[in-house]
Structure 1
Amino acid sequence: MKSLAVLLPGAACLALGVVACSGQRGSTSAPTPAEASVEVAAEIDGDAITVAELDDRIKEELFRSRAGDPSKLYGLRSDALDELIRERLLEIEGKRRGVPADAVVELELEAMGPVTEEEIVTFYEENFAKQGDRTLDEIREQIERYLNSRRAAEVPNRLRERAKIEVLLTAPRYDVVAEGPSKGPAGARVTIVEFSDFQCPYCQRVLATMDEVLAKYPEDVRLVYRHLPLDRIHPNARGAAEAAACADEQGQFWSYHDTLFQNNRALGKEDLVRYATDAGLDATRFQACFDERRFKDKVEADLQAARAVGISGTPAFVVNGIMLSGAQPAEAFYKVIDQELARPAESDDAGSAPTAGPS
């Protein structure tokens, strides 16, 4: 962390856009599902928040994005629902206490007590001490303001724990077969199907995120890798995908996968063969597999499976049928995974036959 500008209220803001490689010149939307018949998006202690309220809040975004993609529409509605729930919780708590909604946060902060010196020092040591360019005394007040703002942002979450909230808004689900090299238990309740491209820098960026996710849910999450080479912008991606399938034939997919991403600027034929040799694969067997393009149909089948559900960029993830696009932060996966684990086990539908659109 180099600056408090991205942390402190009143400072410059950093917009965290989700990034991805795209093989399309224009946007390609997934097939649009029928409108949901459920008009209630959520209930808080029996009081409803309607889908119409969400759409009214996001009408400008809907107009700008022309959100025909059901996943994008769900994302906009879900974000709006989170905002409305926070607002309603503050209003409800304000009425209970006989104070305006905007006074609830101040009362909660008073109940927590002031930020302690220990909290300030810990934050400084975790974020600034190693850089050595600013002393604690120089930024103590800024850190204290930031920690207070972070506490304030947590107040609605504390109120949420006390309320009875039922979220009825559901994400569209896409039927994608979970076939390919995998990590995690075969019987995991949550399956993540990843569509990726070995030349895509954003796919490389998300590797650490996937490691975090698997480490957090060692018994509950399985990751399945499928190929989506973006030929128009990544001319070596298809060859790398076929080479990785040849490595998989010898039981070395994941180590070879890691090597390709570590060297994603050098994925020519000679490079691919050298990486296989360095990894201890049977070089003659690998060369024969690669030269005859033994797995070209497998790679093409993965690509067509992605296109069938409207995926045109990488990385893209289908989490128990729920779409996440781009190099998402780990928290985005945690949110979906936790929701899936909270569902009754008999309703899980992580793997099913592919269709042309969302279910």
Structure 2
Amino acid sequence: MLKTCLGLVVLVAFLGCKQQPGKPSNPADQPSQAPSADVLAVIDGDTITEQDLVRSINTDADLYQRFYQIYQIKKDILEQIIDERVITQEAKKEGKDREQFLNDRLKDKITVADEEVEGFYQNVKDNPTLKGTEEEKKQKVREYLSERKRVTLERKEVEDLKALHKIELRLAPPPYPEVQVSIEGDPVLGPADAPITIIEFSDFECPFCRRMASILKKVLEQYPGKIKLVFKDLPLTKIHPASEQAALASHCAEDQNKYWEYSDQLFESNGALETADLVKYATTLQLDVAAFSACLEQKKHLAAIEADRAEADRAGINATPTIIINNKLITGSKSLSGFKEIIDAELAKLAPAAAPQPTKP
């Protein structure tokens, strides 16, 4: 009986959606369709989609950075929830609550040697916030070191437990902003036809740029023949007064085919960028010092630096280091693993699709 009733319901529903012969379709008679999840607003039938919003965000680097920060916050919270659920599941298997489960797994691993306590105590014993007798102070130090070790060990324990589970993170970051900048005339390292182009706007007096130079060297080593690195000057002279002259010097070295070697000298200089220092680096690299000095004094390559500044301004770039990978403006600091994630994704997109496997008869 139930099957018969269900069959009638399905039949009625089917017939109700079918046009009767000879009757024109009336849109008002049709069931309204739920708007696509991608549609955020409708103006007289004209839709505004999620992609429209993303495109607007991506034209403003500062606005994008705010959205990316929101994504990072959501990702951190999501990972905390995942951690807690994994711990809860594993604790439940042993019939324990969270605290008991973790305490049992960590209690024999958290040890603080007397030598550790003594060494740390000697560094903090005069701190006015550390009160009490010497023994009381040392006990507080021991408790602090013990808790610090517990946090580290708990983090490792959770990561080991997560490895036992199939976990999929589906929270996607906002797409990187698309930017177009010219690289004509800029120093290039790597094959001209490399599938990955990394453009860096940098400042030789910027400590973060120094760190980035080291990371990019490792990136190039890990992707031989696949990356074209382009260097663009963005000396921030208001906070780095020697940066423009250092940039000029780098191009004077480029005139003698030593741009990248000279750039390394500048980043390794720890801020020693006075004229005498710049000439010393030229001497170290066995450049024609007279030609180099004349080039530097005449500011021969100032127009090229100004062109890079103008390019940065058009792209909304006002900080160093700024990285662009295949026309994507990469915001935030990036570690080697961060670069690998982006580059691998780009290479995967460029890889030819696998040929379909023949079906078995």
Please list every run of 5 or more consecutive structure 2 residues that lacks an aligned counterpart in the other structure. 1-35, 40-48, 55-59, 94-101, 121-141, 354-361
**Matched residues in 2 for 1:341 and 1:157: separation?**
27
Q: Does structure 2 retain, via aligned residues, the 8 Å contact 1:277–1:283?
A: yes
- DSSP 3-state at the match of 1:280: coil
**Matched residues in 2 for 1:154 and 1:71: separation?**
34
**Matched residues in 2 for 1:315 and 1:242: separation?**
18
CA drift of 1:205 comes to 2.8
Q: Does structure 2 retain, via aligned residues, the 8 Å contact 1:205–1:327?
A: no
In structure 1, the residue matched to 2:180 is: 175
Q: Does structure 2 retain, via aligned residues, the 8 Å contact 1:198–1:241?
A: yes
CA shift in 2, pair 1:162/1:102, >3 Å: closer
Cα shift readout 1:274-327 (whole Å, capped 9, x = no counterpart): 321221012232233223322111111111111111111222111222223565
Q: Determine which of 284, 293, 315 is the counterpart of 1:287.
A: 293
TM-score by length of 1: 0.59
CA drift of 1:193 comes to 0.9
**Matched residues in 1 for 2:237 and 2:169: separation?**
50
- DSSP 3-state at the match of 1:290: helix
Q: Does structure 2 retain, via aligned residues, the 8 Å contact 1:314–1:326?
A: no
Q: Determine which of 63, 74, 78 is the counterpart of 2:71.
A: 78
CA shift in 2, pair 1:177/1:246, >3 Å: same
Q: Determine which of 340, 344, 353 is the counterpart of 1:334.
A: 340
In structure 1, the residue matched to 2:89 is: 107
Q: Does structure 2 retain, via aligned residues, the 8 Å contact 1:202–1:314?
A: yes
- DSSP 3-state at the match of 2:309: helix
TM-score by length of 2: 0.59
Please list every run of 5 or more consecutive structure 1 residues that lacks an aligned counterpart in the other structure. 1-36, 41-49, 56-66, 91-100, 348-359
Cα RMSD (Å)? 4.5
In structure 2, the residue matched to 1:185 is: 191
> Which of structures 1 and 2 has the bigger CA Rg?
2
- Percent of residue pairs identical: 32
1:58-97 matched pairs, under 5 angstroms = 69-80=62-73, 82-83=75-76, 86=79, 90=82
* Equivalent position amino acid for 1:105 in 2: I
Question: 191-200 or 287-296, which moves further after superposition?
Answer: 287-296
Q: Does structure 1 retain, via aligned residues, the 8 Å contact 2:65–2:331?
A: no
* Equivalent position amino acid for 2:199 in 1: V
* Equivalent position amino acid for 1:321 in 2: N
Q: Does structure 2 retain, via aligned residues, the 8 Å contact 1:182–1:222?
A: yes
1:211-250 matched pairs, under 5 angstroms = 211-250=217-256
Q: Does structure 2 retain, via aligned residues, the 8 Å contact 1:178–1:191?
A: no
Q: How many residues align?
A: 271
CA shift in 2, pair 1:203/1:109, >3 Å: farther
